[in-house]
Structures are given as C-alpha cells and as structure tokens.
Structure 1
Amino acid sequence: MDNLIFFNPGDSIGNFHDYDEAVRTAQIYRDKNQVQEGHVLVVKGVDNHDFDIFLADNEVTHNNEKDAGQAYHVSKEV
C-alpha cells in the first residue's frame, strides 16, 4: 500500500523509529479505544526516517496554508 495522505503533525498519536513498534502501538491503541479496524494508520513521513500513528478521521482533505497538512505515505491500516 503506497498511498499519499495529508495530516497535521500535531494530531499524531505517536512517533516511532521502529516500524514494528509503531504497528504494535497502533493495534493496542485501536483495541483500547475500540476504534474500527482500518481507522488507525501507521504512516511514514516524506523524510523516510520515522513512523507516525494517526486516526483516519484526522486526514486533512484540503492542503492549504490554514490546514498546514504534511504529506505522509500510508504504511499500514490497523
């Protein structure tokens, strides 16, 4: 899955250097907060160094100066 999506970096649930840790944390978050499957996303920033976790509902749909969204590549839907 290589999907470009925009989020406000301040909406991140967590930031990780290790992909597996990010996926594990996303799964735990989904289970604890009873979020529907596929609504928690592990994304890789355009710098390709870190992984962030976002809720799909926080997607910035209009990337303009007001929204200040940053582009991320979706790595996994949890």
Structure 2
Amino acid sequence: MKDIAIDLMALEAGELGVEETLDLFALLIKSGMAWDLQGSYGRTAERLIEAGLITRDGEVSPNAVEQAMAA
C-alpha cells in the first residue's frame, strides 16, 4: 500500500480485493487510525477482529484470505 488515502478511496469505490482490504484494515488497526476515522471503519475493524481475520495488534491471521472468501 503506497498511500492510505488512495487505498481508502479505492475501498469506498469497491476496487479492493479481499487481500488488499485485509491488509488495509490491518494497517488501520495497527496504526490506531481505524478508531479515529468515521465510525464505519472502526466497526468494520472490530468485525474483522471478532471474526479472527485480523489480530488486535493489526496482523492478518494465517488463512484469513481463504476464510474471508469462504464466508
């Protein structure tokens, strides 16, 4: 990911794949930005954590992409 703002715009436009989305949210969680942006980002981050796809430390869990695609 080169620029968070560009990635956020791509997310909003539905242009990110599963792996890119997980990587973006992992970065947002790790940096703490997930909790500072508009509420939907924090809620999505929390759902990804609760689903076990991303850790509370902002690491993408092993097999997260496969799990997310199967859901």
TM-score by length of 2: 0.29
Which one scores higher on RCO, CA 8 angstroms, separation ≥ 6?
Answer: 1
Higher strand share goes to which structure?
A: 1
Whichever structure has more helix as a proportion of its residues is: 2
Q: Which has the larger radius of gyration?
A: 1
State the TM-score, normalizing by the size of structure 1. 0.28
